[in-house]
């Protein structure tokens, strides 16, 4: 009986093995015949089926500042995935519970997650709200211990200083096939250097891509991107960014540009624009790097190079006198005017530079230097060509030099356009003993693995437009602009500054210059210490929101002084002895700081001011001065109007021939709501002279430019000096008006 049972059992096993043999054999021949019919190599087929591979991540090149501080780098990030295949050991077991936990950490909708985690027929899904999360967020999710949740390790570009030099560095985005590529700034222009190439590891694995023991791996190493070292100094860049952000917050301008350079080498230590953006968030409102891609009329900063050319050619005598105010060119209908419209009487050319007299520079070019010679210096200073700085999208300005009026106005910065970086390059010649240095931002590019330098930049002399003696003389004169002239707001305690202000007009859509208080580009280019400049700084602020009497150049001065002083201290440039500073100042030969006349007799105050050469208007029926414009300490010059407000009822004065600024001062003093049209001097007013006026009344005044036959002198293009700062403010719409 036992033997019979054994035979039956053996028969069953034999039957099962036979069936299994035929199934396997049939499958083999079926696969063989089908694959052979398709011309497929069975060995290759087997390798494809069992051969697995993983990507070995490569890293995009890192950007460093000149001191080795990271300003752009790849950092690890993680994308959250969920395994849904129930045949896989670790999979989502309870979609409802998993979704509830994830929703809180990822701040997303639970119901959408439940639907996603419940999909049928999917091996895994990626959680949309869990893409490229930080390591800290990854740890928070891991602490939830949700079965089936895993992570894909990736890289993302990270800019640790947020808006830091954003238009210089740029940003990256998806370049296709999951590889990031530079889309702006140096990230784009240096993409071939920075671009990485992922590696690959190949191995035999099971259906779940788990490596089979004892198999041989094939490894293709990743190729990391090259590292880029910039000339940018993180500290100085942060000083500039912070100062510009403060000015933007307070004055809400349309644009700000700032550049800090080492004039001895041409290295750009900082470059910033407003509006800026955070490349981590890509909240971009402005794609233009104004410093290199935005040519505009420079205004009176151009006078630096006109002055240098005249000195170099031996055509400049600073003690020679001329009649300021206006300058009539033959065959040209409208004269050139100084920015205060009436000038300062007969003054020296040195005083003309300090006052930023357009007449002085018109005469220098037309009567002394000559148009052709001046044009040659425009080229020598590189103002008619790109600097070839190693930044993308550099634009060239336009030198208008066909007609005589264009040749004259170019001398003081109107009509022709140049970029801030062109001005920086040209100014290195003034600061560097006549040698003009090409600006650059890339110091070197290095292989991160071999440490081999693949690109190495060195300082490059672009030319020597002036001699060392001329450069020193120009700096000496430009120092007096800061100590005695229009640049007084740019003085820095402990350091001698040489520089020049600029107030450029802005063409409107109709081709005419925009008029109004603050409707200009206010700029300054300065170097310090004056005798051996270590830093060269350019700042331009376009259309800040300032109200009279605050000067439009105030935000420019705030940025410059903050950045220059902080940077000099950071570089351990010791302050100069006070004795040296005092010796360097020229004795003032014009104007004065206005005294406080409040509480004094109006009659006595009027008499005293008239003896100083001021025009005086008394408003009110009382005897005692209660207010004054300009206020105490304001810097006033001979011929300027001072308005005294006394107690008692106010009556409207005759405004004929009053300037734009005089009318604004009157409105402020009484509290009127003024509307001023045209440019030049007052010719009509809606409130008759002698009529009572009070705070809140409306005043409408029409201005007209003086006729050619009138002997009265007018302005041309500089900021009007006031407020005790000697700052220039252009309030006119004349064709020939700039700073």
Phi/psi of residue 663, nearest 5 degrees: -65, -40
Instruction: Please give the DSSP secondary-structure letter assigned to residue 192.
Output: H
Q: Hey, what are 631's tokens?
A: 């206020």
Measured at the alpha carbon of residue 348, what is the angle toward residues 316 and 360, in degrees to the nearest 5?
65
Write down the catalytic residue from 166, 272, 300, 496: 300
**Are 261 and 428 within 8 A, CB to CB?**
yes
What is the rounded distance in angstroms from the CA atom of residue 598 to the CA atom of residue 382? 53
What is the rounded distance in angstroms from the CA atom of residue 734 to the CA atom of residue 715? 9
What is the rounded distance in angstroms from the CA atom of residue 651 to the CA atom of residue 586? 43
**In a 3-state reduction of DSSP, which class is residue 393?**
coil
What is the rounded distance in angstroms from the CA atom of residue 62 to the CA atom of residue 445? 10
Q: Hey, what are 450's tokens?
A: 């071999």
Cis peptide bond N-terminal to 194, omega within 30: no
Give the torsion through C-alpha atoms of 273, 278, 283, 287, to 10 deg.
30
Strands 70-83 and 124-126: antiparallel
Question: Which residues partner with 267 through β-bridges?
Answer: 440
Strands 227-230 and 63-64: parallel
Phi/psi of residue 55, nearest 5 degrees: -85, 135
Q: Catalytic annotation on 300?
A: yes
Q: Hey, what are 274's tokens?
A: 């407003």
End-to-end CA distance of the chain: 123
Please name which of 114, 113, 145, 111 lies closest in space to residue 129, comparing C-alpha atoms.
Answer: 113
Q: Which DSSP string do the residues of 551-580 spell out, in sequence order? A: -TTHHHHHHHHHHHHHHHHHTT-PPPPHHH
Q: Which DSSP string do the residues of 432-479 spell out, in sequence order? A: TTTPEEPPB-EEEEE-TTT--EEEE----EEE--S-HHHHHHHHHHHH
Long-range contacts made by residues 479-482, C-beta under 8 angstroms, separation at least 24?
Answer: 479/530, 479/584, 480/350, 480/353, 480/354, 480/585, 480/586, 481/353, 481/354, 481/356, 482/526
**In a 3-state reduction of DSSP, which class is residue 733?**
coil
Secondary structure of 90-155 as H, E, C letters: CCCCCHHHHHHHHHHHHCCCHHHHHHHHCCCCCCEEECHHHCCECHHHHHHHHCCCCCCEEEEEEE
- The catalytic residue positions are 300
């Amino acid at each position: 009986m036992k033997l019979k049972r054994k035979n039956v059992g053996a028969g069953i096993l034999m039957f099962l093995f036979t069936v299994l043999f035929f199934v396997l054999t049939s499958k083999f021949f079926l696969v063989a015949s089908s694959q052979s019919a398709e011309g497929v190599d069975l060995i290759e087929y087997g390798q494809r089926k069992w051969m697995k591979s993983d990507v070995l991540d490569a890293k995009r090149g890192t950007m460093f500042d000149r001191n080795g501080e990271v300003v752009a780098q790849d950092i690890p990030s993680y994308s959250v995935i969920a395994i849904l295949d129930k045949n896989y050991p670790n999979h989502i077991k309870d979609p409802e519970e998993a979704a509830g936990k994830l929703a809180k950490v990822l701040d997303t909708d639970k119901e959408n997650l439940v639907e996603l985690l419940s999909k049928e027929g999917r091996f895994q899904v990626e959680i949309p709200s869990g893409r490229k999360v930080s390591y800290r967020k990854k740890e928070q999710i891991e602490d939830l211990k949700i079965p089936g949740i895993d992570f894909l390790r990736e890289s993302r570009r990270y800019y640790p200083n947020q808006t830091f030099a954003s238009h210089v560095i740029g940003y990256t985005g998806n370049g296709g096939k999951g590889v990031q590529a530079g889309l702006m700034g140096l990230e784009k222009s240096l993409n071939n250097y920075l671009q990485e190439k992922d590696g690959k590891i190949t191995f035999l694995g099971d259906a779940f891509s788990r490596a089979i023991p004892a198999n041989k791996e094939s490894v293709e190493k990743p190729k990391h991107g090259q590292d880029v070292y910039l000339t940018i100094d993180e500290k100085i860049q942060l000083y500039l960014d912070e100062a510009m952000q403060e000015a933007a917050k307070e004055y809400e301008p349309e644009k700000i540009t700032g550049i800090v350079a080492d004039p001895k080498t041409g290295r750009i230590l900082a470059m910033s624009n407003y509006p800026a953006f955070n490349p981590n968030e890509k909240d971009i409102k402005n794609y233009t790097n104004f410093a290199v891609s935005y040519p505009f009329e420079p205004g009176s900063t151009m006078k630096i190079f006109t002055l240098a050319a005249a000195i170099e050619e031996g055509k400049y005598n600073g003690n020679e006198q001329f009649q300021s105010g206006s300058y009539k060119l033959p065959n040209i209908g409208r004269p050139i005017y100084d920015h205060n419209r009436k000038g300062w009487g007969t003054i020296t050319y040195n005083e003309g530079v300090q006052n930023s007299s357009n007449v002085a520079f018109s005469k220098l070019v037309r009567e002394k230097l000559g148009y052709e010679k001046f044009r040659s210096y425009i080229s020598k200073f590189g103002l008619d060509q790109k600097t070839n700085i190693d930044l993308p999208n550099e634009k060239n300005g336009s030198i208008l030099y066909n007609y005589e009026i264009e040749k004259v106005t170019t001398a003081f910065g109107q009509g022709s356009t140049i970029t801030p970086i062109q001005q920086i390059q040209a100014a290195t010649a003034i600061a560097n003993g006549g040698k003009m240095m090409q600006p650059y931002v890339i110091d070197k590019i290095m292989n991160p693995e071999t440490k081999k330098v693949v690109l190495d930049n060195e300082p490059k002399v672009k030319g020597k437009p002036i001699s060392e003696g001329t450069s020193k003389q120009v700096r000496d004169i430009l120092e007096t602009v800061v100590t005695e002239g229009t640049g007084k707001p740019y003085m820095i305690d402990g350091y001698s500054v040489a520089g020049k202000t600029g107030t450029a007009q802005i063409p409107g859509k109709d081709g005419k210059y925009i008029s109004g208080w603050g409707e200009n580009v206010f700029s300054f280019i300065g170097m310090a210490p004056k005798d051996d400049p270590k830093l060269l700084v350019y700042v331009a602020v376009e259309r800040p929101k300032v109200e009279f009497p605050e000067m439009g150049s105030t935000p420019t001065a705030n940025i410059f002084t903050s950045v220059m002083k902080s940077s000099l201290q950071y570089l351990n440039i010791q302050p100069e002895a006070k004795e040296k500073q005092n010796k360097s100042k020229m004795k003032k030969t014009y104007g004065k700081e206005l005294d406080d006349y409040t509480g004094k007799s109006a009659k006595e105050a009027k008499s005293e001011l008239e003896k100083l050469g001021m025009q005086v208007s008394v408003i009110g029926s009382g005897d005692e001065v209660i207010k004054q414009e300009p206020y105490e300490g304001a810097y006033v010059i001979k011929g300027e109007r001072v308005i005294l407000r006394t107690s008692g009822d106010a009556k409207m004065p005759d405004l004929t021939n009053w300037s734009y600024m005089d009318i604004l001062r009157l409105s402020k003093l009484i509290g009127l709501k003024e509307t001023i049209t045209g440019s030049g001097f007052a010719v009509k007013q809606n409130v008759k002279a002698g009529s009572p006026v009070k705070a809140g009344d409306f005043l409408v005044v029409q201005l007209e430019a003086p006729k050619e036959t009138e002997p009265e002198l007018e302005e041309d293009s500089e900021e009007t000096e006031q407020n005790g700062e000697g700052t220039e403010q252009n309030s006119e719409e004349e064709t020939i008006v700039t700073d």
